[in-house]
Amino acid sequence: MSTQLPSGAAAERRLFEGDTGSFELPLRQLLVRLLRGPYLDGVAEPRLWQLVLDRRAEISAYVAEIFLVLEVDASRKIALLSPVALEAAHTTAIAPRRALKREETLLALRLRLLLERHAGSGTDAVVTREAAREILLEHRAPGDTDDKKLEETTDAALARLLSLKLILPTELADEYKVSGALALALPFATIEEIPDYIAAIERVGADDTEELELETEDA
C-alpha cells in the first residue's frame, strides 16, 4: 500500500521521509541552535533573536517536553535553555554539564560582579589575562607559591570560560569581553549573594574542588 503524502501547508513543511513535524524550517533551525547552546546572542544574531521573541510560547512548550525551560534576558538580548531540577528518573539534562573547577568558579563569579558594575553604563565589561591572573592570585591558597601553576591555571580558566562563550575575544590580544550570558549562567537572586559564595569557596581546602554548575551547556 502506498503512503499518502501530506498536502497543503503540511506538505510544504515536509523536509524528509517520515517527517511529521509541524514547525517550519526557520523555527526548527532555531530550536537546534538553542539546544546546541550554550546560548543565543541576540546582538550577534538579530534574526534568530526576533524569532525567539515572536515564537517564545511555542519554543517554551516544545522544550518543556524534555524538561528544559527557555530563559530570555530582554535587556541583554540573551536566550538560553536551562534544565529543570526534578527528583525523578530520566529527567536530567540531555547533555550532562561538566561543572566548573574551583579557580574557574572564582573567576566566573568575579567577572559576574564586574558585569553588574557595568550594567547600564553603556560600556562593555572586559578583562585582560593579567587581570584574570591577579584575581586568581588574590584567591590563591595560603602558602601556595607555585607561579608556574598559577599561569597554567589562569590560561585553563580563561579557556573554559571561552569555550562556554561566557567571555568573548576582542580585537586586542589577551583581552576578553564579559558576555551578558554570565548573568543568566549565574542566576543569583541578588548580586549581594556573590561575595558570600566566594567566601565559602575560599574556605575549601587547596586540594579540594568547589564546583558550580552553570545554567548553560558546553559548546
219 closest CA partner among 154, 150, 163, 176: 163
Question: Which of the four pLDDT bands, split at 50, 70 and 90, describes residue 68?
Answer: very high
Task: State residue 218's pLDDT score.
Answer: 53
pLDDT digits (tens, 9 = 90+) for 113-153: 999 999 878 889 999 999 999 999 998 888 888 899 999 99
Under DSSP, the state recorded for 5 is P
177 closest CA partner among 153, 154, 161, 155: 161
Q: Average pLDDT for residues 209-217, to the nearest whole number? A: 52
- Nearest-5° angle of CA 44, CA 48, CA 49? 70
Strand extents, DSSP E, the chain: 40-41, 68-73, 78-83, 126-128, 167-169, 175-178
Q: Kindly state the percentage of the chain with pLDDT values over 90.
A: 49
What pTM did the predictor assign? Answer: 0.72
CATH node for 102-202: 1.10.10.10
Can you count the helices (H) and strands (E) in the chain?
Answer: 9, 6
The amino acid at residue 212 is L
How far from 34 is each of 68, 142, 165, CA to CA, in Å?
11, 42, 14
The amino acid at residue 33 is R
Who has greater pLDDT, 178 or 209? 178
Domain-wise residue ranges, the chain: 8-83, 102-202
Who has greater pLDDT, 127 or 211? 127
